[in-house]
Amino acid sequence: MDLGLADRAYLVTGGSSGVGLATVRALLAEGARVATCGRDAARLAAATGRLHAEPGALFSDVCDVRDAEAVAAFTDRAAAALGGLDGLVNNAGRSRMKTLDETSAQDWRDELELKFAGILHPLRAARPHLRASDAGSVVNVNAVLAKQPETRLITTSAARAGILNLSKSLSSELAGEGIRVNSVCLGLIDTGQWTRRHAAADSGLSYADWQAELAADRGIALGRLGSAEEVAYAVVALLSPRASYITGTSLDVCGGVGRGVL
């Protein structure tokens, strides 16, 4: 099926690695024009340098989503380079592996700032461009932690729940402007953070065996971690004009790890 993404323009935050980079790659493969950003100039350049993009199809620059002015400037440059914006993927973020007793007041402030600024700043900047599109769409990359929190990820779980609530509110707020807002909630995805945690665990297990034990411990029905490409497929599908009657929803990409029916 033609997803109708060719010659449209999309902005993806956090495109230096993982889900963000996979989403950029998937959009380019569909013939879209894409802008992306990251905080580390060297990592961003290395990542985008490996992508196969037609001339003028890819715009990238350094930007910290916590800086509202920097985000606004980057978004305007991106829209000018791509000829507008039809969609926004809010992907920048990370998980904070700490329990209640391990978290400080500053940890809470940092986590909430990153999660909420990572959506609100890009959205405010992109909103006029999305409003001008005939298929404006926003996808917020979230996590199943929003629905089933873990005490070892207490700050991230709380922030993720807030973002899920915010996304639902935004879908109602922006519907009248022709902008759809949806969420993709991830389970355990095989990205750089898990290879780093495997190294830090120093378990003596190979990465494959460590992954299998992790999947069993977390109750993942499919018995494995997901891939960034599997998440990108869901993100791109929700961005697509073909999903024009879908807004305010949350799609779980988690290998069946859900413990409830909601």
Residue pLDDT, tens place only, 41-75: 999 999 999 998 888 999 999 999 999 999 999 99
Q: Please give the angle made by the CA atoms of 136, 140 and 145, to the nearest 5 degrees.
A: 160
Amino acid at 69: E
Task: Assess if residue 261 is contained within a domain.
Answer: no
Tens digits of pLDDT across the chain (262 residues): 799 999 999 999 999 999 999 999 999 999 999 999 999 999 999 999 999 888 899 999 999 999 999 999 999 999 999 999 999 999 977 777 777 777 889 988 988 899 999 999 999 999 999 999 999 999 999 999 889 887 888 888 899 999 999 999 999 999 999 999 999 999 999 987 788 888 888 888 898 889 888 888 888 999 889 999 999 999 999 999 999 999 999 999 999 886 654 5
Residues 116 and 149 in one domain: yes
pLDDT for res 198: 86
Residues 140 and 195 in one domain: no
Residues 91 and 196 in one domain: no
Residues 105 and 72 in one domain: yes
Task: Say how far apart CA 16 and CA 25 lie, in whole Å.
Answer: 11
The pTM for the full model equals 0.93
Domain extent, residue 233, equals 9-188+227-253
pLDDT for res 258: 67
Residues 80 and 118 in one domain: yes
Task: Assess if residue 247 is contained within a domain.
Answer: yes
Task: Assess if residue 199 is contained within a domain.
Answer: yes
Task: Say how far apart CA 195 and CA 95 lie, in whole Å.
Answer: 14
Task: Say how far apart CA 92 and CA 120 lie, in whole Å.
Answer: 12
| Cβ proximity of 146 and 186 under 8 Å | no
Q: How many domains does the chain have?
A: 2
pLDDT for res 259: 60
CATH code, domain with 147: 3.40.50.720
pLDDT for res 260: 56
| Cβ proximity of 238 and 1 under 8 Å | no
Any bridge partners for residue 61, and if so which? 37
